[in-house]
Amino acid sequence: MTAAYGKRYAVEIDNVAGTIDCVTRGKKTDVACGDRVEVKLTGSNQGVIEHILPRSSLLYRSSAYRSKMLAANATQAVIVLATVPSFYEELLNRCLIAAEAAGIKALIVLNKCDIGESAAAQSRLELYSALGYRVQALSAKQDISPLKPWLEDETSVMVGQSGMGKSTIINALLPDSDVRTQEVSDVLDSGKHTTTATHLYHLNQNTQLIDSPGMQEFGLHHLSIEDLEQAFIEFRPFLGKCRFANCRHMKEPDCAVMLAVENNHIASQRLGYYQSLVSELG
């Protein structure tokens, strides 16, 4: 499935050129871009999705009331940031957590390094490089080539807040795709949403790229506290070593995670993000 437009979907069929316009049976909306599906044709260019085949991964976000599926069967999440407008580090952390929970690797791309405060933005990302996350500086309008090796032989889903240049990256990788780029609001210091649907693009036979709509928030209500603490990769060596088996690393005595922060093994800001999410999830 190569595109999701609300309750309508574009589906590629083996040995058939182009895509067909599909709906689901009843009110089902649990189809994600990147899903492999079985379709029953109802017309020359129309069909009904009958079954969703088993997924290798599913990346999605959720609030207390609803969820939004971003991509199925992705092998990596490409988190696009930019020097201008300024990126939200909290949103970066939420995207990293969602990728860890989905079992897919993460690549952080810092775009627009030819403008804005590039050195300051890259300095903010040193923490994540130290954790082992891959970080790539990029100026998509000038040279897209540094990104290409990271995408090769992967099914990547691009996520990030509005205005970071995701559409510009798609246009640079696929000049014929004609993706409308964002206007950036100087007043709000954020991008205006232009991508309203999720699209899958074929870069070559073995490389796919899924472009998801820009976002300003990334809810994680589908995660348990146990999922959350495992998604903070630097916590893992210290989990199970607290005095209390049900320690949530908030204020409990003899907490191994909080002790690791005191000993500079874990960054205090990362613990702060974790504790804020624990409070949010209740």
pLDDT at 78: 98
Least confident of 13-17, 18-22, 242-246, 262-266: 13-17
Mean pLDDT of the chain: 90
Total residues found in the chain within this entry:
282
Q: Considering the domain boundaries, does residue 239 fall inside one?
A: yes
Angle at 133 between CA 128 and CA 136, to 5 degrees: 90
263 shares its domain with 169: no
74 shares its domain with 186: yes
Tokens of 107: 């690549």
42 shares its domain with 91: no
Q: Considering the domain boundaries, does residue 220 fall inside one?
A: no
Q: Mean pLDDT, to the nearest integer, of 166-170?
A: 92
Percent over 90 (pLDDT), the chain: 74
Predicted confidence (pLDDT) per residue in 25-59, tens digit: 877 778 999 999 999 999 888 999 999 999 999 99
The residue type found at 233 is I
pTM: 0.90
Q: Considering the domain boundaries, does residue 217 fall inside one?
A: no
Q: Confidence class of residue 185 from pLDDT cuts 50, 70 and 90?
A: very low
Close Cβ partners of 90 (under 8 Å, ≥ 6 residues apart): 273, 276
Predicted confidence (pLDDT) per residue in 50-98, tens digit: 999 999 999 999 988 888 899 999 999 999 999 998 899 999 999 999 9
Q: Considering the domain boundaries, does residue 133 fall inside one?
A: yes
CA–CA separation, 267 and 271 (whole Å)? 7
pLDDT at 186: 38
CATH number of 262's domain: 1.10.40.50
Q: Mean pLDDT, to the nearest integer, of 243-255?
A: 96
pLDDT higher than 70, residue 129: yes
Q: Which residue has the higher pLDDT, 54 or 177?
A: 54
94 shares its domain with 158: yes
Torsion of CA 47, 52, 57, 58, to 10 degrees: 70
Close Cβ partners of 42 (under 8 Å, ≥ 6 residues apart): 48
44 shares its domain with 66: no
65 shares its domain with 20: no
Q: Mean pLDDT, to the nearest integer, of 240-269?
A: 97
Q: Cis omega before residue 85 (within 30°)?
A: yes
157 shares its domain with 28: no
Percent over 70 (pLDDT), the chain: 93
What is 224-251 written as a DSSP string?
A: -HHHHHHHSGGGGGGTT-SSSTT--SSS
Domain span holding position 260: 225-281
- For the chain, the domain total comes to 3
Predicted confidence (pLDDT) per residue in 207-233, tens digit: 999 998 888 789 999 999 999 999 999
The residue type found at 176 is D
